[in-house]
A and B are shown apart, each in its own frame.
Chain A
Amino acid sequence: MRTGDSLTEIYVYENTQLLEQLEEMLLDSEKNAALEKAHIDEIFRVMHTIKGSSSMMGYEGLTKLAHGMEDMFAALRQNLNAPKGAWEPIISLVLECVDFFKVEISKVQSGLAPDGDIEALHGRAVALLHMVSGEAPAAAQPGKPTTTAPAYNGANGELRYYQARLFFTPGCAMESVRAFAVVNSLDGLYTRIAHEPRDLNVNCDEAIIANGFLLYLESPYDGQEIEIKLSDTMFLQSLEFFELSSQEGLALLAAPPAAPAPAAPEVAPQARGEAPAQPTAAQAVPAQLAAPAREQDSKEAAVSAPKGITHNFISVNVGKVDQLMDLVGEIVTTESMVIKHPEVVNLHIESFEKQSRRLRQLTDELQDVVMSIRMVPISSTFRKMQRIVRDMSLKTGKEAQLVLLGEQTEVDKNVIENLSDPLMHMIRNSMDHGLEPAAERLAKGKPAMGTIVLEARNTGGDVIITISDDGQGLDRDMLIKKAQERGLTQKSESEISDREAYNFILAPGFSTNEQVTEFSGRGVGMDVVCSNVEKMGGSVSINSVPGNGTTFTLQIPLTLAIIEGMDVRAASEHYIIPILNIRESFELQSKDLIVAPDGTESIIIRGKCYLVRRLHQLFDVPGAKEDLESGIMVLVESERGSVCLFVDQIVGEQQAVIKPLPSFIARILGRLPHLSGCTILGNGSISLILDVNSLVSNT
């Protein structure tokens, strides 16, 4: 239970909402590789809002980062055409900031301080700001080496002063040499240079890792060109670049920190021979740090509320909704107990029965409404997966598209929360191991872009979610081999069905990857996915066609579902069959029964053959009727097929609040087949609920 004060709750809630909307909008924009005015405005407003509330809460880091982003977007609002090729890094930066903010805000939500390091992101925001607010025409694409001579500053190439701070990607090693390489790459672009650390011929890796590599330059050339050259550096994690006033610049270059240049002959030392105009001290170089008219904009934006926040919703504490659900469940059960009370049931008082029916109507309605409060379309979870696919695409270099089906399928809020992680893992898996690299796909005649289909649909009491890819499928032989090696099975290769082989992946500690990649881990993944799903009362199954692709299916029952059931009896044991699954019931004529040599019983109904399953046999109930003709046959069906269930008696309709079987049962006995839960009957006794799907498929 969170005991945040209400201001913190609002901070978390509002900013989380904003960030989620922003992310959705950005992923759409990315496809068009540019930002429209409306988007730029929205991002500006969101950053402005986050800056405002973060500063109120005293979160300096978040305030500074939001401020940096706000500045950049203020510039974009002025100057709607970013230099070509700049949209990509801008959109990427915003997405990364969104991620960062989300992490920090969740820290706040947990009562921790948002202490993440903003410097890298902030540095990039500042760099992009300068790129955006600079003169547009001369800008070359970042990352492309300029083939033409760098542009002069003004007509005579007056000298300007710049400062740069570079951080290298952690773990790239030999930072001192990389810094040396940076200086080398600027050859010809400066008249004077100084840097910190000063001597790059000795090992100063630690200093550079801690403080970055600091450069001061005097140059007749356009700062943008120099910045672009610097951003071309390999293993560059962040670049901060800005212009200094000539006063500052001269001071920094002349002062003691002025470093002796690297000893190698080709690189010129401090002053170069062909230096053009003398730095005229009188020239006050206007600092280009602040975007013009930013002040005005901030004032404007402060008044208007961010677009897209106003809905006709109120936010409700989830705990209260849970309580409501529980109460409704109790009411349904109690209503049952009152109406079917043994003393009352046989009295047949008309007015009583009339009111009972009305009561029943009302509880039905109540139940529907409460269920719908907790039900949320799965679209928000699905949309998050777009982000995962995009990020994985960049990381693995494999192009892939995500197709979403059944986004409007509603699932219980509980389920949504527990579904994200398993889905993310499976999608990462698909992209990492399932989809082949573009070249291989083309060679196989597949389109270079891989496709992952994420689908959700409702079937009565369950939600079925499938993740399919059109990748290389699973290698059954390899899986069997691994399973045998790990002692997961004693069977021989020929005894194992394809399905069984694929499901080995779900066993703990199973991983067929020799090279465990950074993204999908070492087999900790799938079995955790499985147990997460099972915690929700669901199940995972896998199917695959080698060469064509793999499909993961999650079947999750709607929690706290109240189902219409039929109470049936075998001896003194009661079971509930969901009415949705019942086709018909009848008394058996022995002539319709077929007994196979192995004892399997089947029955023919209107020309079709159905397997017979005896309820008392399934659950080992002693004392039940054995003679098929004296009991009742119930034809049940699920999406996997149909089967005929033999029971002693059909007791009657029963509204059942499904409760999951207690976890200690699962711990001790393992997963019980054929049962999807239990419920309390009108007379207070417990009845088990049958899982027809399971009954039908287990041979």
Chain B
Amino acid sequence: MTKVMIVDDAAFMRVSIRNILLKNGFEIACEAENGTVAVQKYAESKPDIVTMDITMPEMSGLDALREIRKIDPNARVVMVSALGQEAMVREAVLSGAKGFIVKPYKEDIIVDTLRKLSNA
């Protein structure tokens, strides 16, 4: 089963994503509420995929993405963005994000994205 790390500063989002993923046969490796914790936990738990919120305190999702890619060049990170953050998402794409989804999203969008990534 695919192990996912959920990174978002909002507890609501973490719970929401967790429920969707569990319902659809994914395993939750761990969760993180900011970039710093995310990088740390990535090294510890080595998830298959990471869902990364873009705007977070301490360290932004973009920076966390870069740090994680340094640790693991094959890391599969999906950015979770809101409309209006196009520039940040472009940066993320250039920094190696494997994909992105835009809030608000329907359940099947995130599930399809992660499934496609985990089969790659």
Spell out A's residues near B (CB within 8 Å): 143-145, 171-174, 176-177, 180-181, 184, 201, 203, 232, 234-235, 262, 264, 266-267, 395, 397, 437-439, 515, 517-518
Contacts and interface: CB of A to CB of B under 8 A. Distances in A.
Nearest to A267: B94
Nearest to B98: A234
Nearest to B27: A439
A143 B25 contact: no
B90 A437 contact: no
Interface string B79-92: 00101001001100
Contacts of A176: 86
Contact of B23 (A143, A172, A437): A437
A647 B98 CA distance: 79
Interface stretch (B40-48, B59-67, B111-119): B111-119
Contacts of A174: 81, 83, 86, 89, 100, 102
Given A145-B120, A234-B116, A397-B115, 12 more contacts: A173-B102, A174-B89, A177-B89, A177-B93, A180-B90, A181-B93, A181-B99, A184-B93, A235-B113, A437-B24, A438-B25, A518-B108
B94 A184 contact: yes
Nearest to A232: B120
Contacts of B10: none
B interface bracket (residues with beta carbon within 8 Å of A):
20 to 34
B5 to A, nearest CB: 19
Given A174-B83, A518-B108, A180 B25 contact: no
16 contacts: A143-B120, A145-B120, A172-B101, A173-B83, A174-B81, A174-B86, A174-B100, A177-B100, A181-B100, A232-B120, A234-B113, A235-B113, A264-B90, A264-B94, A266-B94, A518-B106
A395 B94 CA distance: 31
B81 A234 contact: no
B109 interface: yes
A518 B90 CA distance: 31
Contacts of B109: 171-172
B18 to A, nearest CB: 14
A232 B89 CA distance: 19
A266 B1 CA distance: 35
Nearest to A266: B94
Given A174-B86, A234-B113, A437 B25 contact: yes
A363 B89 CA distance: 78
Contacts of B102: 172-174
B32 to A, nearest CB: 23
Contacts of A518: 106, 108
A319 B57 CA distance: 72
B100 A439 contact: no
Contacts of B81: 174
A365 to B, nearest CB: 57
Contact of A180 (B93, B101, B120): B93
Interface centre among A174, A235, A439 (most CB of B within 10 A): A174
A655 B114 CA distance: 65
B27 to A, nearest CB: 8
Contact of B119 (A143, A171, A234, A438): A143
Interface in B18-77: 23-25
A472 B50 CA distance: 31
A439 B93 contact: no
Residue from B100, B101, B111 with most neighbouring chain A CB atoms (10 Å): B100
Contacts of A203: 86
Contacts of B108: 395, 518
A423 B83 CA distance: 41
Contacts of B116: 143, 234
B90 A201 contact: yes
A174 B82 CA distance: 10
